């Protein structure tokens, strides 16, 4: 696979690129990296069919170097982040490929404080993966596995306590993407008093993210409108992302959710609420709106862990991505779909009115995002034809638009984002760049 770690852990086609051998050696490397902490590691997974196989391999690798393991089974990524910290574990692991297709899988690592590892730590672990692993312990030197059945309940109680709001009177639709949030996410909302209509709650292993959840919100929009729900919620496969629809079925993306929560936290005058951390993908309209409300907007590279690093550095309370990773740093240390959903629902309940009006905080500038297949995605910065065409379009926008071209950290794609005031102009630029990339990088 070349370099193992991408923007969100190790990813690849399960049993082809991400093999049991790689998972086992990654576990040995991670356990050795955290060897000075004798506490167990905490591991969970999403629902995809290869999850049991790869979790078993990772657990075996950790046990083989003497590391004890707490296993929660199927559980959202944010629950692993929270419980790793809550239980004072040495590190946390999630076997998941998030929003990727069912054939993919991944390994995400969290430090003992619940934060994703920085690049420097991943590089050190990566350097240890192919170490050979001679002299492994025997007899009572190997680790012990303990099933942690109370994990879902503890996470549910944490989210409910964090939100602390009665949602009675709200009717909420939720699409769980046949993923890790299939049980806990609807339960949180019901326990808080909402009437909940949940779909795609079958953890059958083969349907995760398939025409459902945050990657395909058509069914959710229909359910929300047909049942006159106040809002609809869409999770991704590991429930660290959350997108929404209003009562009319219109999509509410991560930028709009971030704006709503940033203003809400500022109204409460909470520490760190005067700053909002987003990535380079967030709409320019969000930046202009936050400026009007006296909130400083800071941008990072794409990836929720870069957002979190900047939030920790500047003390921001709210941050996240347009794609739906929303971080509320006082309550969790990673993107948390169920927590975000419950908080937005609480804001709607406290403010009253319609969600379509509450979420209309800014007018997004027209934005086009195209995913272009590129087998040689890392070569685009060295292709003078592509870079020249990008520069030509940027000059033509005269400061009233943006172009962002970047390789995906998890898939063989290059993402082309063009933003500006004129729909026709940005669509033309995006299509031209996509064609050029497809032609030259395959």
Provide DSSP, 129-188: TTS---S---GGGS--EEE-TTHHHHHHHHHHHHH----TT-EEEEE-TTSTTTTHHHHH
Angular region, 239: left φ>0, alpha ψ -120 to 50, beta rest: left
Helices (H), 315-354: 337-351
Q: What is the pLDDT of residue 1?
A: 44
Paired with 420 in beta bridges are 401
Q: What is the pLDDT of residue 11?
A: 93
Annotated active-site residue in 64, 98, 323, 346 = 98
Q: What is the mean pLDDT of each run of 10 residues along the chain (442 residues)?
A: 78 96 97 93 98 98 97 98 98 96 96 94 93 90 96 98 97 98 98 98 95 97 98 98 98 97 94 94 90 95 91 96 95 97 97 94 90 80 87 85 83 88 90 90 80
Q: What is the pLDDT of residue 402?
A: 86
| Contact status, residue 133 vs residue 25, Cβ threshold 8 Å | yes
> Token pair 């339960």 is at which residue?
187
Q: Can 396 be counted among the known catalytic residues?
A: no
| Contact status, residue 113 vs residue 90, Cβ threshold 8 Å | no
Strand bridging mode 275-279 / 318-320: parallel
Cα of 358 vs its chain's centroid, Å: 24
d(CA 276, CA 89): 30
């Amino acid at each position: 696979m070349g370099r193992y770690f991408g923007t969100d852990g190790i990813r690849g086609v399960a049993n082809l690129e991400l093999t049991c051998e790689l998972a086992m050696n990654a576990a040995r490397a991670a356990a050795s990296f955290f060897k000075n902490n004798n506490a167990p590691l905490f591991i969970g997974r999403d629902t995809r069919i290869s999850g049991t196989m790869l979790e078993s391999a990772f657990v075996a690798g950790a046990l083989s170097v003497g590391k004890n393991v707490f296993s929660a089974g199927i559980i959202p990524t944010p629950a692993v982040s929270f419980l790793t910290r809550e239980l004072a574990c040495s590190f946390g692991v999630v076997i998941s490929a998030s929003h990727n297709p069912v054939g993919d899988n991944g390994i995400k690592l969290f430090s003992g404080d619940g934060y994703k590892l920085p690049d420097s730590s991943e590089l050190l672990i990566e350097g240890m993966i192919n170490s050979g692993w001679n002299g492994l312990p025997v007899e009572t030197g190997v680790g012990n596995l303990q099933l942690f059945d109370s994990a879902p309940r503890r996470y549910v109680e944490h989210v409910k306590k964090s939100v602390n709001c009665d949602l009675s009177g709200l009717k909420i639709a939720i699409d769980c993407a046949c993923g890790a949030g299939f049980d806990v996410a609807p339960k949180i909302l019901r326990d808080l008093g909402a009437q909940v209509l949940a779909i795609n709650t079958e953890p059958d292993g083969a349907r995760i993210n398939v025409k459902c959840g945050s990657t395909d919100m058509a069914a959710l929009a229909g359910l929300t409108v047909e049942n006159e729900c106040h809002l609809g919620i869409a999770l991704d496969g590991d429930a660290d992302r959350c997108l929404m629809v209003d009562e009319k079925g219109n999509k509410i993306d991560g930028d709009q959710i971030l704006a709503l929560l940033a203003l809400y936290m500022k109204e409460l005058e909470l520490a760190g609420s005067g700053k909002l951390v987003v990535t380079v993908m967030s709409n320019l309209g969000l930046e202009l709106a936050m400026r009007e409300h006296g909130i400083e907007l800071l941008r990072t590279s794409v990836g929720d862990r870069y957002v979190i690093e900047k939030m920790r550095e500047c003390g921001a309370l709210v941050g996240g991505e347009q794609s739906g990773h929303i971080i509320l740093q006082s309550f969790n240390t990673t993107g948390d779909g169920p927590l975000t959903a419950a908080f937005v629902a609480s804001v709607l309940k406290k403010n009253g009115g319609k969600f379509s009006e509450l979420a209309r905080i800014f007018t997004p500038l027209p934005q086009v995002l195209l995913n272009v297949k590129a087998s040689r995605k890392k070569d685009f910065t060295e292709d003078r034809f592509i870079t020249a065409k990008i520069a030509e379009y940027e000059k033509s926008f005269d400061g009233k638009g943006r172009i962002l071209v970047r390789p995906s950290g998890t898939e063989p794609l290059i993402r082309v984002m063009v933003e500006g005031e004129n729909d026709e102009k940005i669509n033309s630029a995006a299509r031209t760049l996509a064609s050029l990339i497809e032609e030259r990088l395959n």
